[in-house]
Chain A
Amino acid sequence: MMIFGGLVLLLIAITALAVVRTRNIVAQVLALSFYGLLLAVMFFVFQAPDVALSQIVVGAVALPLIVMLAEAKMQRRIRQNRKEEA
């Protein structure tokens, strides 16, 4: 079972690298969401189901949602600036 724990930790490290390396923001948010789910799996493997539950909802749903909404807002501002320049 501890081998599984070690593998999950390794997978988290790789996914974290992938989140940082992704350049497209939408893809990055999806990667972040996946990273949050992996963290939840890790908490569950290390016998913390309470934390795993919060992590599923906050890390995999709420945080990506807020980032996506902020991203939509920024894209709109960029479009507006382009329109003004044109």
Chain B
Amino acid sequence: MTAKWRLGVFWVAAAGFALLYFAGVKNLPPWGHYRGLYGQMISAVTVYERHATDAVNAVTYDYRGVDTLGEEFILFAAVLGCMVLLREPERPSEMAKPDKGLSETVKATAAASFASLLVLGIYLSTHGQLSPGGGFQGGVVIASASMLIYIAENFQVFKRITSHPLVEALESLGAGFYAIIGMVPLGFALPFLTNWLPLGTTGTLVSSGTIAVISCSVGLEVTAAFLLLGYTFLEEIISGENEEA
């Protein structure tokens, strides 16, 4: 195929793309006009029914809570699978090459950013019912921020935090707590995942019943899951590099 032919084929493909693109963009609804009926119904009803101002989290943790429970256990099983696949074989102790880390300036900046990101993550997890965010987002923010520790310090420091049995326990607790909250109403002959806690005042931290509690437990689970995932991957690479050295 010559260059000329190739260019010809490109122009045909580009013309097709342009056609599809303009047909797609032309019919976009105007700014702020959402066409889905279900979404409009939910946003009209959440504040009265659930005392939650963030309709998205009211859907994910309450109206369609069973789906989120399933996703939570998908994450749990996936992380468990990674850890089993990359489990530690008999390895020599890896303290042979203590890494000095980066300069003091980088360490100080990383520490400051880590602190603020930690606060942001906790804020997102606990305010899931009030503003955009929620347990998943908050958890991933905290876990990703912890990578700063590895970047600025070294793997030993990161390992001391994340290989702790507490992290594994938190992961199981976070996942299990969600299921338990869902099962409590079964004891009162109510459907699974009924919002059984008092709804509180709209707009306050303690409101919207189970939505806030589930958001926090998801936050715990996701934080621990991503920490364990990062630890397992890093462990696999670093111990290999030490073997090589």
Contacts and interface: CB of A to CB of B under 8 A. Distances in A.
Contacts of A58: 140
Contacts of A5: 25, 28, 31
A57 B144 contact: yes
B244 interface: yes
A54 B17 CA distance: 29
A76 interface: yes
A26 B95 CA distance: 28
Contacts of A53: 124, 132-133, 137
Given A13-B21, A69-B237, A73-B236, A57 B140 contact: yes
B137 A57 contact: yes
A70 B240 CA distance: 12
B56 to A, nearest CB: 4
A20 interface: no
Interface string B227-239: 0011001101100
Nearest to A53: B137
B181 interface: no
B85 to A, nearest CB: 12
> Chain B CB within 10 Å — which of A2, A5, A10, A79 has the most?
A2
Contact of A80 (B124, B136, B141, B244): B244
Nearest to B141: A57
B243 to A, nearest CB: 9
A33 to B, nearest CB: 12
Given A65-B147, A65-B230, A76-B244, A50 B54 contact: yes
Interface in B9-44: 17, 21, 24-25, 28, 30-32, 34
Interface residues of B, number: 33
Contacts, number: 67
B63 to A, nearest CB: 14
A58 B244 CA distance: 32
Contact of B132 (A9, A49, A70, A73): A49
Interface string B140-161: 1101100100000000000000
B226 interface: yes
Interface string A50-86: 1011100110011001100110110010011000000
Contact of A9 (B21, B137, B140): B21
B57 interface: yes
Contacts of A6: 25, 28
Given A2-B31, A53-B137, A57-B144, A10 B21 contact: yes
A69 B28 contact: no
Given A6-B28, A76-B240, A69 B141 contact: no
13 contacts: A5-B31, A47-B32, A47-B34, A50-B54, A50-B134, A52-B132, A54-B140, A57-B140, A57-B141, A66-B229, A66-B233, A69-B233, A69-B234
